[in-house]
Amino acid sequence: MIKENISLKGYNTFGIDATAQYFSTFNSVEQLAGLLESKKLITHNPSLITFILGEGSNILFTKNVEGLVLKNEIKGIEKIGEDENYVYVKAGAGESWHQLVLFCINNNLAGIENLSLIPGNVGASPMQNIGAYGVELKDVFYTLEAFYLAEKKMIQFTLQDCEFGYRESVFKRKFKDQFVITSVTYRLFKTPRFNTSYGAIEQELQSMGIQTLSIKAISQAVINIRSSKLPDPAIIGNAGSFFKNPEIDAEQFKELKIPFSGIVGYTLDNGRVKLAAGWLIEQCGWKGYRKGDAGCHAKQALVLVNYGNATGDEILNLSEEIIESVQKKFSVPLEMEVNII
């Protein structure tokens, strides 16, 4: 059933009080197709936008949504095949990402333990090519199924089709708002390939007293680290990392190290250097900054927060001030990771 003038405050982790002109949920492809047909009858305007909402963990609403907001609640996690080295797991796009991680750990399936506790649903994982602690979604991605809105039919996407990049895919640019991801199939390792070199994982494993490495131990270490420095959206509104870590060429990094000896950077396979956006922002004095109810988190400068009643515009304005100050101090452009609506 399509409802009118529904508040989206409880449907986005920033807690921004925007309104959907029309709103409904769906838990199957058939229900999605039916709602799209109903849209023509109810709105009397088939050209109104259709906005697909997952967990709302990577969105900043700066205005009300004029059109139909459909919340994806397609559930289900199942093993659909295996071969000598891999097990293939299919999950509904409306499943919690972290619940999928726990399913894999409980079934001794390796590959996404470093991505523990990332907020959001399964459907967002390929859109963003989510990543953390040295692992990206593309490392375990196999295929996905998506509903093509223009032709009302299902299409399968392979790894190559998705054109994954750093927090990028075809669904964020070339095919933006054209497909509804309904399920994702992952290729998980039967034999773990432990990745503990990134961030503070090794240090946390030591403090946990881990003697024998396992995917469960790595997952718990990541959970501990994330919980210690990232705010819980249930307590303080936020969307996790607001900015991407910028990449610069090696020569610029060398030049920046002269005045800024403590600058944090990681050399990539292509020779470029990925900088820690949080460090850059902190050096510009934003960490812990607050203006009204919009602020920069006290423990992690990469996270912008809503302390209660901030508007989307107030959060956006703060982000633009941060971008300007980092550009002025370091000549490094920051790019938003969060989707601005």
- Where in the chain are the domains? 3-72, 77-189, 237-340
Q: Which of 24, 116, 167, 314 is catalytic?
A: 167
Find out whether 159 and 152 touch, Cβ atoms under 8 Å.
Answer: no
Q: Select from 3.40.50.10800, 3.40.50.620, 3.30.390.30, 3.30.43.10 the CATH code of 3-72.
A: 3.30.43.10
Q: Which of 57, 125, 219, 241 is catalytic?
A: 241
- Distance, in Å, from the CA atom of 268 to the CA atom of 280, rounded to the nearest integer, reads 18
Sign of CA dihedral 278, 279, 281, 287: positive
CATH fold of 77-189 reads 3.30.465
Coil/strand/helix, residue 77: strand
Q: Which of 55, 136, 145, 337 is catalytic?
A: 337
Find out whether 186 and 140 touch, Cβ atoms under 8 Å.
Answer: yes
Length of the chain counted residue by residue? 341
Q: What is the DSSP letter of 96?
A: B
Coil/strand/helix, residue 59: strand
Find out whether 68 and 2 touch, Cβ atoms under 8 Å.
Answer: yes
Maximal CA-CA distance, the chain: 64
Q: Which residues contact 32 (CB under 8 A, 6 or more apart)?
A: 26, 70, 147, 180, 182
- Distance, in Å, from the CA atom of 278 to the CA atom of 301, rounded to the nearest integer, reads 5
- Helices 215-229, 97-106: axis angle to 10 degrees equals 150
- Distance, in Å, from the CA atom of 170 to the CA atom of 1, rounded to the nearest integer, reads 31
Find out whether 94 and 121 touch, Cβ atoms under 8 Å.
Answer: yes
236 CB neighbour count, 10 Å cutoff:
19
In tens digits, what is the pLDDT along the chain, a chain of 341 residues? Answer: 889 999 999 999 999 999 999 999 999 999 998 888 776 666 566 667 788 888 888 899 999 998 889 999 999 999 999 999 999 999 999 999 999 999 999 999 999 999 999 988 999 999 889 988 889 999 999 999 999 988 889 999 999 999 998 888 999 888 988 899 999 999 999 998 888 887 688 888 888 888 888 999 999 999 998 888 888 888 899 998 899 999 998 999 999 988 998 898 888 878 888 999 999 999 999 999 999 999 999 989 999 999 989 999 999 999 999 999 999 999 999 999 888 99
- Distance, in Å, from the CA atom of 224 to the CA atom of 208, rounded to the nearest integer, reads 10
Catalytic-residue membership of 337: yes
The class that CATH gives domain 237-340 is alpha beta
Angle (CA) 139 28 42, round 5°: 125
Assess whether the region 3-72 and the region 77-189 belong to the same CATH fold.
no
Cα separations (Å) of 98 from 58, 95, 279, 317? Answer: 15, 9, 27, 31
